[in-house]
Structure 1
């Protein structure tokens, strides 16, 4: 892939069938739905429920993406192991499938020093033949990449960017400032509430979970901005931000996104982790997303 990545990548949900098993047919339908709106692909991310998939499922999911896309849009595969050894092992399997790049989450559960994170990412980037994105999501992992650490890692020839899902403008801007003299280093926006602001500030792309629910409005944030229609991009962002605020007041992603898709008529099944939605919750979701059906 080119070292510069732009636009929208959708973190697509992983569909399950009635027995809770991976449903590749339903996944292919969701991939085509996103491509219809010009969105690129991010697979096995948080909204893909990587944390409840076993290794062979992660490989099967990624293989389905690569086969369905057939080189038409970029595919970034997500790697999510705790140890450096297992990260490299899975990374090699995913890279061999033909993805354009991989994103690598910080190790989780065990707190790490910044120098330990640097050593981890350098070892992974050295071992893999595809470009690597750092993935910062401290609320879920307990480990935070600092701008100073990212600046050090940005010097590695196989590390081409970072996806930041810390949730704040300050965090994203810190990474942008750290890499401001490196035009080929991509700062990818994670929070759906900051997509437009990110493009204004100079972030190259976003990775969106809500694009599962609203692929066109989120696509329009980018396409209007790219065409010079800044007001139109901002208006699309306002629509998305309202959806995010009201939907996530009921339940957070990925379960809320998957439940919403199901209520919209998409055969994606239910989340594997233990979350429940009442009849009142479902009624509220139907009201919220009626404009996106």
Structure 2
């Protein structure tokens, strides 16, 4: 049982942000039902990702349905994931919550299980101003036992972490990077410019549609959902972008855009991306396609349509 009165950690952070580069998939959470992990599927998926050459794993993010999962299941996912990975790649753990105490409990479990870093979006109920956001992240960073990535997700949190705020928070010894899922390339370019002299601060982008261009401009890599399905494709795209191989980038980017356009756009759902991704992984035989409420799986007609699309894409990739 984790103590609720957690200590403040002052020890130096041993993990440099330079360790975190490349493709770090925001892993889906394989589920059997509302409160039970699909453990076989979890192992299959992790081995699939590591075999595909990914540079790390990010669990309990948006793609992992973190805010819909019971707390006990979140802690169990951390434990099982770290046990399966066994240090082969860094594991980043999402600790986003409206209650700081719950974030700290997740952080402590991550530390006990030898995870590498934590990721936290702003609390998503009160609309915090930038000074309050700074206070929140400083309070959190002072009390966690692992390095922290900021997570900019304004579509879900209704708060944008402004570039000046990022620069200010980067001076905290525990805050080592940021994942931006805003889809706002102008914002990300401002971050790249403002943080260009901060070699120990890593900037990752979430939307896979802009990963190649942001890496070529100096970004650290992509936290791309599609890498759950085709990790090697996204790793090769990252490598081509780092090498400046424009022709290869263009070819691989076309495949990424086909995935985005066809797999993530089935049905008139706000969650079409996640429904498509989980359904595809189920069709690939990797894990269950169960989704935690309030979300639900595709119906048969949508699943049949996705199966046709997936087979077409697989022929081009595999």
Q: What TM-score comes out, normalization by structure 2 length?
A: 0.87
Which residue pairs with 1:267 in the alignment? 287
Task: Kindly report which structure 2 residues correspond to 1:86-165, keeping only aligned pairs within 5 A, or say none.
Answer: 86-165=102-181
Cα deviation 1:150-192 (Å, max 9, x = unaligned): 1110111110000000012112112212211101110111101
Tell me by how many angstroms 1:268 deviates. Answer: 2.0
Gap change, CA 1:81 and 1:19, over 3 Å in 2: closer
Partner Cα separation in structure 1 for residue 166 and residue 242 of structure 2: 27
Which residue pairs with 2:309 in the alignment? 288
Contact kept? 1:196, 1:222, Cα under 8 Å? yes
Cα deviation 1:102-144 (Å, max 9, x = unaligned): 0011110211111111011011111112110000101011111
Partner Cα separation in structure 2 for residue 237 and residue 26 of structure 1: 28
Partner Cα separation in structure 2 for residue 227 and residue 71 of structure 1: 27
Partner Cα separation in structure 1 for residue 64 and residue 292 of structure 2: 11
Partner Cα separation in structure 2 for residue 269 and residue 248 of structure 1: 15
Cα deviation 1:208-230 (Å, max 9, x = unaligned): 11111222211210122334433
Gap change, CA 1:58 and 1:119, over 3 Å in 2: same
Partner Cα separation in structure 2 for residue 270 and residue 86 of structure 1: 25
Find out whether 1:166 has 2:182 as its counterpart.
yes
Root mean square deviation of aligned Cα = 1.7
Find out whether 1:186 has 2:206 as its counterpart.
no
Partner Cα separation in structure 2 for residue 64 and residue 136 of structure 1: 27
Which residue pairs with 1:236 in the alignment? 252
Gap change, CA 1:191 and 1:92, over 3 Å in 2: same
Secondary structure of 2:287's partner?
coil
Contact kept? 2:119, 2:149, Cα under 8 Å? yes
Contact kept? 1:11, 1:42, Cα under 8 Å? yes
Partner Cα separation in structure 2 for residue 86 and residue 63 of structure 1: 16
Partner Cα separation in structure 1 for residue 265 and residue 198 of structure 2: 38
Structure 1 stretch 129-138 or stretch 20-29: which is displaced more? 20-29
- Unaligned runs of 5+ residues in structure 2 are 1-14
Of the three residues 257, 263, 283, the one matched with 1:247 is 263
Tell me by how many angstroms 1:194 deviates. Answer: 0.7
Which residue pairs with 1:278 in the alignment? 299
Of the three residues 12, 17, 30, the one matched with 1:3 is 17
Task: Kindly report which structure 2 residues correspond to 1:53-64, keeping only aligned pairs within 5 A, or say none.
Answer: 53-64=69-80
Task: Kindly report which structure 2 residues correspond to 1:59-70, keeping only aligned pairs within 5 A, or say none.
Answer: 59-70=75-86
Gap change, CA 1:178 and 1:85, over 3 Å in 2: farther
Of the three residues 198, 202, 208, the one matched with 2:218 is 202
- Unaligned runs of 5+ residues in structure 1 are none
Secondary structure of 2:57's partner?
strand
Number of equivalences: 293
Contact kept? 2:38, 2:287, Cα under 8 Å? no
Find out whether 1:177 has 2:177 as its counterpart.
no
Which residue pairs with 1:15 in the alignment? 30
Find out whether 1:38 has 2:53 as its counterpart.
yes
Cα deviation 1:185-212 (Å, max 9, x = unaligned): 1011110101101111110121111111
Tell me by how many angstroms 1:92 deviates. Answer: 2.2
Partner Cα separation in structure 2 for residue 276 and residue 22 of structure 1: 16
